[in-house]
A and B are shown apart, each in its own frame.
Chain A
Amino acid sequence: MNGLERILAAVRFQDLDRVPVVPQVFGHAARAAGLPLDRYLTDPAVLARCQAAAMEDYRADAVFALLDVNVETEALGSRLRYAKDSYPYVEHPVLERASAVGGLRLPDPRRAGRMPVALEAARLLRHAVGDRALVAGCVLGPMTLACQLMGAEAALFAAVDTPAAFEQVLDFAVDLALRFGAAQLEAGAHLCLVFEPSASPAVVPPGFFRELLAPRLRRLGAGLRDGGAVAGWLAIAGPIEPILPSFPACGVDIASFDYCVDPRRARAAAPRLGLAGNIRPLAFVDSGPEAIAEACAPVLDLARTGGVILSSGCEIPLEARPECVRALARAARAEGGRP
């Protein structure tokens, strides 16, 4: 089995040669290659080369054509502050108030900001790995993009103070994600990870998620599937157990789950959902390979009944120790396939 086949078989609860391994290696791939992050985030060839090298080194089943969480908001006019070796951040968000969203126009992903970098990275990675491994693109979910467009505090207050206008921001965010996602799929991505940390129950109540976000994630998931995505992957950090049961109806096949969610409870909340997790991200920095192997045990135990991808709970930190990331694949290979 190759990486792509393994991941798809896992989320379909089919037999496997071993549990798929997908460490969420994004900017860490640049650090591991000894290159500054700013080059990785602006040069698609550098990103593709670093991702391919990380996939080989970490014996991963996927690569990520993913820059950072600011690509969409930058393309719409937010001003970023860049640093040589850390992620940029939004210095001036483009949207001063939710009701101004009508003044924004959907950007052309082939031209706007660094969107073309993401598209070219997807094309290069697909060319490099073909269908041997999963090539994942990325779009922000509506809540996270709203926070990136307005600033998190302003977006959250707008959700309550001006709900109708805020819903327009969410709808605009879905339209943008569909357009950007379609372009990434066309460029070569097998699927687009929907990155939606601001929808976490740590940020908004589960009722807010079900009422305002789930319908929009459903529309996004359906659109990405129509665009050719081989599966739907939703990444929401934090204590997602209360909202997990809503995921399948949103077209989600794979849900990332964080270290704070017990794997068995996640499975109980969503019995037929692919689960990717859940090693504590900082463990790749502050522990060793043995501790990582130990932390993998509950996930591998759950994998015996299928539907599991061994992964980090969230992004692997930039400064992660490579020997700790390698320990993931070692643990999966030691475990083997489903009995």
Chain B
Amino acid sequence: MDANLDQLVVLLMDGDSAAALQEGRRLRAADGGGPRLVVAALEAAMDRMSTKCTTEQFNLLEIMLTGRAAMAVARDTFPEGAMPATKGTVVIATPEGDVHDLGKNLTRMVLTAKGFRVVDCGKDCPLPVMVMAVAREDAFALLVSGLISPVVPMVRQLRSLLRERGLAGIQLVAGGAALKQCTAEALNVDYVAGDAFDCARHLELLQAHRP
């Protein structure tokens, strides 16, 4: 890795938002005001966190702190709110009836820092709202996160709802404590992600193989 990036990556990994902001500004100044180094550092931090947080060692708190620091640096670098989205658009939501959105928010942060454009439909979200967002935003994937078991039957309906809107090719990914107890076949989705980084890896792999 570029030695210039290393300090920012370390600060992001530590979840030190204030120091990361300062280092991000220093990097931008060193790069003639451009965001290139900062964007590279954000992605490098997420990659390093991904390696550290294998499914067995994943814990929300550390990743939330890194995510919060990364979002602070991103907002400072792109005050107009648009991180460069080099890896395409995804829609993310927690289905209607489930108000637990910690996992969804964390996944949104990880994917944003890794260069995806993430359209967040929020928690307690009706299925038609998710499907409409996929169509409207020209997303290539729909990500659903569920902590409680009553959302399982709803997730099973998503494929047919997407088909009805002519969106049969959309990648469906499920995650969260309840949904990851199921297989992809049982949920009628393409992939069940073990955690936010697993989700990111899966989406990156898909993008790498897209024509």
Binding site for B on A (CB under 8 A): 86, 89, 152-153, 156-157, 159-160, 201-205, 208, 237-239, 259, 280-283, 285-286, 317-319
Contacts and interface: CB of A to CB of B under 8 A. Distances in A.
A237 B60 CA distance: 14
A282 B60 contact: no
Nearest to B102: A152
Interface in B138-166: 149-150, 152
A156 B65 CA distance: 9
Most chain A beta carbons < 10 A, residue from B62, B181, B186: B181
B181 A153 contact: no
A275 B135 CA distance: 49
23 contacts: A86-B150, A152-B100, A152-B102, A157-B64, A157-B65, A157-B68, A160-B15, A160-B65, A201-B59, A202-B60, A204-B59, A204-B60, A204-B61, A205-B59, A208-B61, A281-B149, A282-B178, A286-B182, A317-B149, A317-B150, A318-B149, A318-B150, A319-B150
10 smallest CB-CB distances across A and B, nearest first, come from A317-B149, A282-B181, A203-B60, A204-B61, A89-B99, A205-B59, A156-B61, A152-B102, A280-B181, A282-B149
Given A205-B61, A259-B181, A285-B149, 15 more contacts: A86-B97, A89-B99, A152-B100, A153-B102, A157-B64, A160-B65, A203-B59, A203-B60, A204-B59, A205-B59, A208-B61, A239-B56, A281-B149, A286-B152, A319-B149
Given A153-B105, A285-B149, A319-B149, A205 B181 contact: no
Contacts of B60: 156, 202-204
A13 B178 CA distance: 33
A156 B177 CA distance: 18
A118 to B, nearest CB: 22
Contacts of A318: 149-150
- Tell me the dominant secondary structure on chain B's binding face: helix
A202 B63 CA distance: 11
A202 B60 CA distance: 6
Report the contact-size class of chain B (Cβ under 8 Å from the partner): 20 to 34
Contacts of B177: 237-238
B199 to A, nearest CB: 15
Interface string B69-111: 0000000000000000000000000000101101001000000
Contacts of B99: 89
Nearest to A316: B149
A209 to B, nearest CB: 10
Contacts of A203: 59-61
B62 A205 contact: yes
A238 B99 CA distance: 20
Contacts of B15: 160
Interface in B169-199: 177-178, 181-182, 186
A203 B103 CA distance: 10
A215 to B, nearest CB: 18
Contacts of B58: 202
Contacts of A152: 100, 102
Contacts of A205: 59, 61-62
A285 B177 CA distance: 15
A282 B152 contact: yes
Contacts of B186: 286
Given A86-B97, A156-B64, A280-B181, A285 B152 contact: yes
A64 B58 CA distance: 31
Nearest to B56: A239
A208 B62 CA distance: 11
Contacts of A319: 149-150
A202 B58 CA distance: 6
Contacts of A160: 15, 61, 65
Nearest to A280: B181
Contacts of A89: 99
A81 to B, nearest CB: 8
B18 to A, nearest CB: 11
A25 B151 CA distance: 19
A283 B182 CA distance: 9
A89 B123 CA distance: 13
Nearest to A160: B65
B133 to A, nearest CB: 23
B164 to A, nearest CB: 25
A263 to B, nearest CB: 17
A273 to B, nearest CB: 21
B198 to A, nearest CB: 13
Contacts of B64: 153, 156-157
B11 to A, nearest CB: 14
Contacts of A86: 97, 150
Nearest to B15: A160
A159 B15 CA distance: 13
Nearest to A318: B150
Nearest to B149: A317
